[in-house]
Amino acid sequence: MTSHTSTSCFSCRHSKRRCDKNLPTCQLCIRKGLKCSYPRRRGQRSDQPSRSIQGSESISDSNAAYSGPIVVSSSTEPQIQSPSASTSSFAVTTAISFLAPGLFREAGLEIPRLNIGLPDEVALHLGDSQQVRETASKFFRTTWMPIISRKRYLAVVLNPLSPSRRPTALLALCIKLCCLSVHDDEGLGKTSLYRLVKAFYSDVESTQVLCVQVLQAAILIATFEIGDTIYPAAYLTVGACARYAIAMGLDKINKDRMGGEPKTISWMEIEERRRAWWAILILDRFVTSYPSSLIGHPD
């Protein structure tokens, strides 16, 4: 039988959330991956040095109140949660949000953001901001597959104050892949970049919540595979794009103006989502144009 205490834990106090007061750990701290600690005396506002394993220094109130992917430790400095623990917490909360979105909202859960940097090889291929700008200019001079807003994309990748996000880096890498010349006789550079893009896409997809940048990157990968006749990879990638888009609610984009998203989404992103969905439909018609590839179900 679960025991209870009469006071809320420090994390719930500072985040102003309702605490179930379970011992030894409340359910909210378990969901968020936080260390749960309760006051030992009336009026106690913060954890005391006696709570730490080393018993050397106390934990500050700000560390106890932090609700991100940092675990409050017994030392004076907060330590970033280990990759295995943070990835596990991410996987659990993401699964709940996908399988039971209503329960996810009612419980006030939040998907933790994984603090994962860019691989060195990816950063090397992207280059500096000037190289990213030149690649983007080359890409946006074409009129085919217009699924990315030039204004929105450049505002993110060229803003020095904007943090480097893995989905944006993945999209930039896919743009570079699609800008490579088709008349590459040896094709060594193109092949190595393609393999890097595929590996990085798989990594980002498994550690990132559903977002339009990852979907756009997948569409560009499928377009490249179709253009270079990389089969059956192209066929499978288009199918994965459709599943990803349906998971985002884009199949309802023409029935529901927001496509299942909150009303805070901008008109520009709504248009990007609509164009991404139509691009997937076009690619799907192309790769399933052979009778052997058709699925016997109506649209």
Angle formed by the axes of helices 267-287 and 233-248, to 10°? 140
The token duo for 12 is 């719930």
End-to-end Cα spacing for the chain: 53
The secondary structure of 55-70, three-state, reads CCCCCCHHHHHCCCCE
Q: What is the mean pLDDT of the chain?
A: 77
pTM higher than 0.85: no
pLDDT tens by residue, 246-282: 999 998 876 655 445 555 678 888 999 999 999 999 9
Q: What is the pLDDT along the chain (299 residues), one digit of tens a residue?
A: 567 777 888 778 777 677 887 777 887 777 777 778 877 766 666 665 444 434 433 334 434 333 333 333 333 333 333 445 566 777 777 777 777 777 777 777 777 677 788 899 999 999 888 999 999 999 999 888 899 999 999 988 887 666 668 999 999 999 999 998 766 655 677 899 999 999 999 999 988 889 999 999 999 999 999 999 999 999 999 999 999 999 999 988 766 554 455 556 788 889 999 999 999 999 999 998 865 555 554 55
What would the DSSP string read from start to end of 209-246? ---HHHHHHHHHHHHHHHHTT-TTHHHHHHHHHHHHHH
* Phi and psi torsions of 87, nearest 5°: -65, -40
156-164 long-range CB contacts below 8 Å, 24 or more apart? 157/129, 157/132, 158/129, 158/132, 158/133, 160/129, 164/118
Would you give the DSSP letter of residue 81? P
pLDDT tens by residue, 32-53: 777 788 777 666 666 654 444 3
